[in-house]
Amino acid sequence: MDLDQLIKKVAEEIKEKKEVVAFTGAGISVESGIPAFRGSQGLWEKYDPEQYAHILTFLNEPAKVWKMLKEMFSIALKAKPNIAHIVLAEMEKKHYLKAVITQNVDGLHQEAGNQKVIELHGNGRFLVCISCYSKFLFVEEYLNIEPYPVCEICKGPLKPDVVFFGESLPEKALSSAYELAESCKIFLIIGTSGLVYPAAQIPYYAKSKGATVVEINLGGTPYTYKITDYFLKGKAGEILAKLSDYLF
Ligand code: APR
């Protein structure tokens, strides 16, 4: 089957089975202008994540980490949902999609209109004080504060409310993600390299519980040859736009 026939077949399965859960990574937001982490234009090509995205580096040298954060969030805070996010919101409205489990911290699924979004790595739309835990909306003005923004209450360093390497994932989000992976009929993996655990384990669990696995990506990943039933090779926005033509 060619790509178009595969997309049509996936749409038929979705219409028949419904109970879709989407699992998204940075690739779904690339068409919103946010670079992915890995691959030729990836953020980690410029900043070693083990240094710049590790909680210990943040605690010892917040100014160093904020250099990377300012570059990342000066784009992310301005980004808008693209067609891929919008189609997932439409799929939820039409009761095909139960939830989105996302590794992304850009908040674009909620902005597109999805109600049930499980954020495994937190949400970069908020800043949290690492001393008194006060929370603030991450507005662009914070990007201009040198060397980095501090809490207006206790003057502690502010950190985006996201999971850094070396930190554990929010327990509630992880357990909700496993419950959804267990109960869904179709597990739709979109734009993730499947390399970062424990999030990366969830698609394998969905497969082990009998879900049909659909993967949308520019190229193969560790999932593709192990658990993927339908591999839709291409840009998330283009593939999901075609899928929506067959669905709605
Ligand atoms: N459409 C579909 N897929 C795309 C597109 C696109 N337009 N552009 C890139 N991709 C794919 C790439 O081929 C790659 O497989 O998206 C994936 C992006 O992989 P990563 O950059 O590793 O992002 P992700 O998988 O989300 O990373 C997981 O790693 O650094 C941590 O916490 C960070 O949440 C992140 C986690």
Lining residues, ligand 1, CB within 6 Å: 25-27, 30-31, 36-39, 42, 49, 103, 121, 191-193, 195-196, 216-219, 221, 235-236
So where are the chain's domains? Answer: 1-33+81-121+169-248, 35-78+123-162
121 is catalytic: yes
The closest residue, in CA terms, to atom 23 on ligand 1 is 26
- Give the model confidence (pLDDT) of 30-68 as tens digits: 999 999 999 888 889 999 988 899 999 999 999 999 999
**Residue of 58, 217, 225, 235 best suited for mutating to test ligand 1, as the one with most atoms within 8 Å of CB:** 217
The preferred substitution site among 30, 102, 123 for testing ligand 1, maximizing ligand atoms within 8 Å of CB, is: 30
Class of domain 1-33+81-121+169-248: alpha beta
- Beta strands 135-137; 122-129: pairing state: antiparallel
Distance 14 CA to ligand 1 centre (A): 24
Please tell me the distance from the alpha carbon of residue 10 to that of residue 33, in angstroms, as a whole number: 27
Task: Supply the residue whose CA is at minimum distance from atom 15 of ligand 1.
Answer: 193
Q: What is the Å distance from ligand 1's center to 24 Cα? A: 8
Superfamily name with CATH number, domain 35-78+123-162: SIR2/SIRT2 'Small Domain' (3.30.1600.10)
Q: List the one residue out of 13, 21, 81, 82 whose CA is nearest residue 246.
A: 13
Residue 243, CA distances (Å) to 13, 78, 121, 141, 230 in order? 11, 27, 27, 39, 13
User: Could you give the CA distance from residue 82 to residue 32 in angstroms, rounded to a whole number?
Assistant: 5
Expressed in angstroms, the distance from the first to the final Cα of the chain is: 22
CA 30 → CA 103, 108, 218, distances in Å? 14, 11, 11
Residue 19, CA distances (Å) to 15, 16, 185, 203, 211 in order: 9, 10, 5, 15, 10
For 187, half-sphere exposure in the C-beta direction (CA atoms, 13 angstrom radius) is 29
In tens, the pLDDT along 8-35 reads: 999 999 999 999 999 999 999 999 999 9
Q: What is the pLDDT of residues 135-177, one digit of tens each?
A: 999 999 999 999 999 999 999 999 999 999 999 999 999 999 9
Q: Is 0.85 topped by the overall pTM?
A: yes
